[in-house]
Structure 1
Amino acid sequence: MADPALTSAGPSVVAKTPAAAPDDAVAHFAAKLAFETDCADVWYATTQETRDFVLLDVRTPALFAAGHVPGAVNIPTRQLTEARLADYPADTLFVVYCAGPHCNGSTKAALKLARLGRPVKEMIGGLTGWIDEGLGLARG
């Protein structure tokens, strides 16, 4: 049954640019998920499954101490070096986050990790997203 709210008065600002072909959309969204994960999936993986990644908070130690995602390790972006990561096997998946959508610290960290040859994903939303989902913080 068609949505009665749909009209044929002409394309909206949304529809003026046509949607991608379904095959192109599949490729785009599958690729996007290879680069990012979200707070709910990180929460689920850390509380309901066997964790198979290292969650990195790339903010400063002071911000980390004030509140962070439970189970996260604090390594500020500037400290992401091969020497600092030597204790982690080369195939370790890192999931990085920073303060939130207004911060590109996790993007910079993800780029740095990728340049070091490390598998990496960004946790979209960062700490702000985690809080928005109603998930608790750890302190200290």
Structure 2
Amino acid sequence: MTFPALDSTTAAALLRAELALDVDPDDLVRDLDSGAQRGYVIVETRAPEVFATARIPGAINLPYRDMTPESVSRLDRDLVYVCYCESIHCNAATKGALKLAELGFKVKRLSGGITAWQAAGYPVDRNLLTSAPSPTPSPRCAC
């Protein structure tokens, strides 16, 4: 191998840290299904337009571009904020989680975003009336 494997202690510490940072759709659904919804908030970190088209049930919309000390002042600092975006090809969840962490909040990211959520067959909420797609191309993830 080009790069040798880490020693087991270092590998375990890094993997433990990774699990402390990320949650996958299945684990999140298990919490939702069991009623273990206290202690965290699901946060869509992309633009309101995409939040309107499809979102994880119960999620709030807090675009990472709009996160400021003022815009998050009413959030409960005792909760964990699980940030998500489009997919592994979008980094809005990472940007949102970073901003929230820098503002003193506990955070996690949803692995794979709403794309992984839907691919796993989990439901999404949608607004009944959404505007027609713009003929002008724009970034798919709207972040």
1:27 positional shift: 0.7
Structure 1 stretches of 4+ moved >3 Å: 15-18
Give the aligned partner of residue 23 of structure 1: 9
Q: Hey, what's the Cα distance between the residues in 2 that align with 1:61 and 1:26?
A: 38
Larger radius of gyration: 1
Q: CA RMSD in A?
A: 1.4
Could you give the per-residue CA deviations for residues 22-65 of structure 1, whole angstroms, max 9, x where no partner exists? Answer: 21221110011121111111111122132120100011111111
Aligned length, in residue pairs: 126
Counterparts of 1:119 and 1:62 in 2: how far apart (Å)? 26
User: Corresponding residue for 1:54?
Assistant: 41
Partner of 2:132: none
Structure 2 unaligned residues grouped into runs of 5+: 128-143
Q: What CA distance in whole angstroms lies between the structure 2 residues aligned with 1:87 and 1:46? A: 23
Output one character per residue of 1:54-82: Cα deviation in whole Å (capped at 9) or x when no partner. Answer: 10001111111111111110111122222
Shift of the alpha carbon at 1:85?
Answer: 2.0
- TM-score (structure 1 length as normaliser): 0.83
Q: Deviations over 1:81-138 (max 9, x none)?
A: 2222222222221000000111011111111111101111111100111011111111
Task: Give the secondary-structure state (helix, strand or coil) at the position aligned to 1:134.
Answer: coil
Partner of 2:82: 95
Distance 1:136 1:84 in 2: 28
1:77 to 59, 64, 78: 64
Structure 2 CA distance for aligned equivalents of residues 81 and 24 of structure 1: 35
1:33 pairs with 19, 22, 32, which one?
19
SS across alignment from 2:43: strand
Q: 1:104 aligns with which of 75, 78, 91?
A: 91
